[in-house]
Amino acid sequence: MRSSRALGLGAISGLRSLSGPAFVSRGARHGHLDLTGTSLAFLGSPRLSAAVVVMALGELVGDKLPMTPSRTALPPLLGRAASGALVGAAVFVSEGGRATTGAALGSTAAIVAAFAGERLRALTVEKTGLPNPVIALAEDATVLIVGLSSLRHAR
């Protein structure tokens, strides 16, 4: 179960870099992930949780702007990989697993999702003729569903 949750949260971090950390922080804050006494316990901080959620919401808006860089350009991709690593490590640690294993799964999922999401979005726009922001909203819905589902099945 922890592998699928780490992969799911890592993947949504590849689509929206702050989404995974926002869900993990909220999950830690509300008892869905037990990070107490670990090096990742800071993720359950109420202030951090609120800040990351606000930043994640800002990212949802920023993603639709025409000047937003490609998620697969090196700097954004590295950020997504780091985000995926963080959430993967948190999931594994919360269930008594090795942080390094979770980090590897989460970062890999983030990188794969970044490339796959970008390509799928471009193909969908091309094939349907729908505006890019409309397709981006479908990505947002996917992120929300996967994020909420990962916390629902926690603990």
Query: Domains of the chain: which residue ranges?
Result: 2-60+70-152
pTM for this model (two decimals): 0.94
Mean pLDDT value of segment 45-71: 94
Length of the chain: 155
Per-residue pLDDT tens digits for 99-114: 999 999 999 999 999 9
**So what's the pLDDT on residue 46?**
96
Does the structure show a pLDDT above 60 at 155?
no
What lies within 8 Å, CB to CB, of 37 at 6+ separation is none
Question: Are 72 and 115 in contact, with CB atoms under 8 Å apart?
Answer: yes
**What whole-number distance in Å separates Cα of residue 97 and Cα of residue 16?**
25
**So what's the pLDDT on residue 1?**
74
* Angstrom distances, CA of residue 2 to CA of 24, 30, 33, 94, 103: 13, 18, 11, 9, 12
Question: Are 13 and 110 in contact, with CB atoms under 8 Å apart?
Answer: yes
Say how many Å lie between the first and final Cα of the chain, rounded.
10
**So what's the pLDDT on residue 150?**
87
